[in-house]
Amino acid sequence: MNVLVVGGAGYIGSHCVRQLQVAGHTPIVLDNLVKGHKGSIPEGVTFHEADLADSPKVVQILKDEAIDIVMHFAAFIEVGESMQDPLKHYDNNVAKTVSLLKSMREAGVNKFVFSSSCTVLGEEAEPPFTEAMPLRPISAYGQTKADVEVILEYCCKAYGMSAAIFRYFNASGAAEGGVIGEDHSPETHLIPIAIQVALGQREKMYVFGDDYPTPDGTCLRDYVHVDDLSRAHIAAFPRLEEEGAYLRYNLGTGTPASVLEIIKAVEEVSGRPVPYDVAPKRDGDVPSAYADSVKAKTELNWVPQYDTIKSIIETAWAWHESHPNGYDDK
């Protein structure tokens, strides 16, 4: 199938492009390169530099490329920034998604895969997180994702479109061989920050709180490899053939790791120290968050291939060690 990957030059989108190729599909990338990296797009893959707000151009791309399915990864993801400038996030994450859905309607494309987040469930949820839990985001970022989930539900009912929503826990790792990987600016994710410390790019890192009700006092999170996430998206394609299908899946390994366990694993994989200081807790950080992915495993036959934190970090280390400056294009 011809698959338009919106945000296909970003971290998760670029990995999905390669997994689409492995699965025999034809990916076409649309990205405005505000956050994405052109160097992450494989040679030979059609690339359109465009913004979702440019509806005529998006409609033309959908028609010219004979798109069967749209996968939407483009979003601003910084939670802290979303609280300081919510309109920026609403414009990019919600308004431009609505623009994309309108463009799809005009072009006659009705299958949609959406990149959501476990942050839609908020801090009151008790792990493991299931799909049945109510939407209770506590950040503007999480609210933008929750809003799109609701919009998609109504669109599926009203227009007969079909949508699969994937709520990620902590996307991590990099493609085997270190050809592409994670390169955010600013970097806010734990594993790449720990690796930057190991590489000497940061003097030290900070552990926000060490007295949580967890085995070692630090937060527990569910880390899932980015290629495993990508394979889950593709596995949903057959289920999108049903008109009006509205599917939601939580994606994680279900086995959380603590902040200190991540630091130790990075030290073991890299063979280098990762010094850290303990800092005050951050607002909104819950002690433990991990997925119940039974639904994805049952309905999509999805099984994470990277089932240990060490195996995930090994791929991340290979990328960062060989690309200390990331794609070096910003």
Q: Which residues are designated catalytic? A: 141
Residue with tokens 């991990």: 290
Provide the 3-class DSSP secondary structure of residue 284: coil
Q: Give the CA distances from residue 214 to residues 211, 224, 289, 310, in Å, rounded to whole numbers and listed in that order.
A: 8, 20, 11, 20
H or E, element range at 184: none
Which residues, at least 6 apart from 87, have a Cβ–Cβ distance to it below 8 Å? none
Give 78: exposed, middle or buried? Use CB within 10 Å, 0-12, 13-18, 19+: middle
Can you give the C-alpha Rg of the chain in angstroms?
A: 19
CA distance 43 to 267: 34
Q: Cα–Cα distances in Å, from 179 out to 73, 116, 200? A: 20, 25, 22
